[in-house]
Structure formats: structure tokens, C-alpha cells
Amino acid sequence: DIVMTQTPLSLSVTPGQPASISCKSSQSLLHSNGKTYLYWYLQKPGQSPQLLIYEVSNRFSGVPDRFSGSGSGTDFTLKISRVEAEDVGVYYCMQTIQPPLFTFGPGTKVDIK
């Protein structure tokens, strides 16, 4: 089974400053079709999760361009170029290369200083 880890597990950021979250998988998420099945989600307080990034680096519709994803193989990063107050919540990475067991990372809680 693929295990997803995230660091840090919590992050306090000053508005306007950058933030970065690392996600590592225990196996490569590169599929034979050339795609890498790594996703990022944000769960704002009291809300359902929402998709931010799909297949490592593609921003989902409506996601601000201050969010970016990068990485390959087993190491991935979500970056927020300038954190805003509305970005607080828990960020999860998730892999879907290995059905029937999709797995989420433990989550990284981001709050504002």
C-alpha cells in the first residue's frame, strides 16, 4: 500500500508571505501512461474539501494562481506564493495511481500569524 506523508503538519504564516508544503509517497506515482496521479485539496474550516491541484501541477478551475504544485515520482510540493487570510485550513495530498486504495496524506494545518 502507498503511504503518503506530509511536512510540516502545521504551519503558521504571515499574510503576504510564501508557504510551502511537502508531500512524499512511498512509491512512485508516475503511471505508465505518463501521468502522475497526485492531487492537492484544501479543507477550509467548517467546509467540505475542495480540489486545488490535479496531476501534480494543474490548477483546478477557479483556483488562484498564487497556488502552484510541483514535483515528480515520490516528492511533491504545494506552494502558496503570498498567503491570504482565506487560505487557512487543512491541506491534503492524495494519490490515485493505486486503485483500489487511494490514499490521502495526514493533512497540513495552515493558519495565519
Interface positions with other proteins (CB under 8 A): 37, 39, 41, 43, 48-51, 54-55, 60, 90, 92, 94, 96, 99-107
**Residue type for position 20:** S
Q: Which is nearer to other proteins, 50 or 72 (CB)?
A: 50
Considering beta carbons, is residue 12 or 50 the nearer one to other proteins? 50
d(CA 69, CA 94): 13
Cell numbers that stand for 26 in this block: 512511498
Question: Residue 7 Cβ, how far from other proteins at the closest point, in Å?
Answer: 15
Q: How far is the CB of 39 from other proteins (least distance, A)?
A: 6
Gap between the Cα atoms of 4 and 29, Å rounded: 11
* Backbone phi, psi, residue 85, to 5°: -60, -35
Phi and psi at 112, nearest 5°, equal -100, 135
Nearer to other proteins, 14 or 70 (CB): 70
User: Whole-number minimum distance, CB 16 to other proteins, in Å?
Assistant: 28
